[in-house]
Amino acid sequence: MTTHEEGEGLRRVRGGRRRFLPYLLALGPGLLAASAGNDAGGIATYASAGASYGNGLLWAMVVVTIFVGIVQEMSARLGAVTGKGFSDLVRETFPLRITAFILLTLFIANFGIIVSEFVGIAAAAELFGISRYVAVPVAAVVMWVLITRGSYGRVEKIFLGLSLAFLAYIVAVALAKPDWGAVLQATLTPKLQLNAGYLQLLIAMVGTTISPYMQLYVQSSVVEKGVTPEDYRYTRFDVWVGTIFAGIVASCIIIATSAALFPHGITVETAADAAQALRPVAGDYASILFGLGLLGASVLAAGVLPVATTYMLSEALGIERGVSRSWEEAPIFMGMFTGLLALGAALALIPGLPLIQVLVGVYVLNGLLLPIELFAILRLVNNRELMGSYVNRGIYNLMAWGVAVIVSLLSFTLIVITILGWFGIQL
């Protein structure tokens, strides 16, 4: 090879790196939102699915991951094109009563999850011998200082660092020694069971993987980051990378608990239960990794959730907002964030709090409320006055509507099964 050819090759490599660099720099809102969905309640739900049904719900995880990507992408696109958050658009587009109903359901869902994140921090800390009455207040104070005293860029970098905790679950799969042939078969061959327990877990998986706060966070973050339609392709890359990473992590939790616990008939109700149950079966390292993953996930979501909820409330009220704002610039925003954080941490410290009902139950509630938000997003993203040429198109729009319809049918099915159960009728 001549010197000239070597120089041309080097320039092509450098040019490729420069072209790929903006995609790497865009990683943030999408990756954080999707990762935050794998929080304490999510880990509890996935672990319960693996321990109770083996690999039987892996096929659903693939479908739900695609659903997540579609919903997150629409939310991020709304933010990039309009320059406004979800609540802003809802307030400007829908009648007052519908706006109030949508935002109330989102607030109920979000606040329940805020409490569940601190419950997750407490459970993870106690796995390592740290009292919840120390761990929860310390986590709340650290998160408060980070959000109220930092810039958006610094907060995003720290949150991205916390998302590395999810790598623990990928390592835990190797320690659990699954049958990869069985894993592949279960992933590719859907088997739906029509019973309340299975459907409740299925809806909980949808609720935890497509949590309403994820859409609120990704859209508000895209707005605060100043993403425009011209550079939106980088954000779209961020959304799908985050979605795929979160889907892999969730699948790893199901596979690990399926391999280690399902053959022994060991069922779990919380992520902490799963970590403790793994110790005698898959070894100390698997148990420790599960605990570290739970701690990192809970801390990440405990920061993302109050921020997303505060954005929603601030947008609805039309007041100054933003993580990069000072107390003087956005006192109501900072005050609401402080109140949500403090109240969520305080409720999580109530003695005798029923953990399983709080963790999995909150995500069943999310699954039931999710259709309301999905249909609102679809109405907004297909509004040509708002989106212009960036509205949904063709097959993609059909898939998006399909997500909303399927989630609604699952929610309706759970309601029917629950009501029948009140009359002693079991399916």
| pLDDT for the residue 282 | 62
* pTM passes above 0.85: no
DSSP letter, residue 329:
T
355: pLDDT strictly greater than 60: no
Closest alpha carbon to 292 in 204, 177, 170, 142: 170
Nearest to 32 by CA among 181, 153, 169: 153
Residues 6 or more apart whose CB falls under 8 angstroms from that of 330 comprise 314, 319, 320, 321, 322
Tens of pLDDT along 188-234?
988 888 777 788 788 878 877 887 778 888 888 888 888 888 888 89
User: Hey, what amino acid is at 296?
Assistant: G
CA distance 187 to 229: 36
For the domain made up of 25-422, the CATH class stated in words is mainly alpha
Residue type, 131: S
Q: Can you give the pLDDT at residue 418?
A: 65
Q: Which of 231-235, 303-307, 323-327 has the highest mean pLDDT?
A: 231-235
Question: What is the reported pLDDT for 371?
Answer: 84
Give strand ranges (E) for 137-276. Answer: none
How far is 401 from 412, CA to CA, in rounded Å?
A: 16
What the block records as the tokens of 316 is 């609805």
**Contact call for residues 73 and 242 (beta carbons, < 8 A):** no
Helix, strand, coil % in the chain, rounded to nearest 5:
85, 0, 15
pLDDT at position 4: 45
Structure confidence at residue 196 (pLDDT)? 73
Q: Could you give the 3-state DSSP secondary structure of residue 133? A: helix
Amino acid at 330: A
Q: Where are the alpha helices (DSSP H) in 320-383?
A: 331-348, 355-381
- What is the distance between the alpha carbons of residues 140 and 338, in angstroms, rounded to a whole number? 9
Q: Which two three-digit tokens encode residue 259? A: 């391999």
pLDDT at 6: 44
pLDDT at 5: 46
Alpha-carbon span 343 to 104, nearest angstrom? 18
Q: What is the pLDDT of residues 158-196, one digit of tens each?
A: 777 878 788 888 888 888 888 999 999 999 988 888 777
Listed residue (288, 293, 341, 289) closest to 113, CA to CA: 341
Look at residues 179, 202, 181, 206 and name the one whose alpha carbon lies nearest to residue 191. 202
Q: Does residue 338 carry a pLDDT above 60?
A: yes
Question: Is residue 117 a contact partner of residue 421, using CB atoms and an 8 Å limit?
Answer: no
The Cα–Cα gap between 77 and 251 comes to 27
Q: What are phi and psi of 426, to 5 degrees?
A: -110, 135
- Convert the pLDDT of each residue in 398-415 to its tens digit: 999 998 898 888 877 766
Q: Rounded to the nearest 5°, which phi and psi values hold at 325? A: -80, 155
110 is written with which tokens? 């979000």
**Which 3 state secondary structure label does DSSP give 178?**
coil
Domain boundaries defined on the chain: 25-422
Say how far apart CA 322 and CA 225 lie, in whole Å.
10
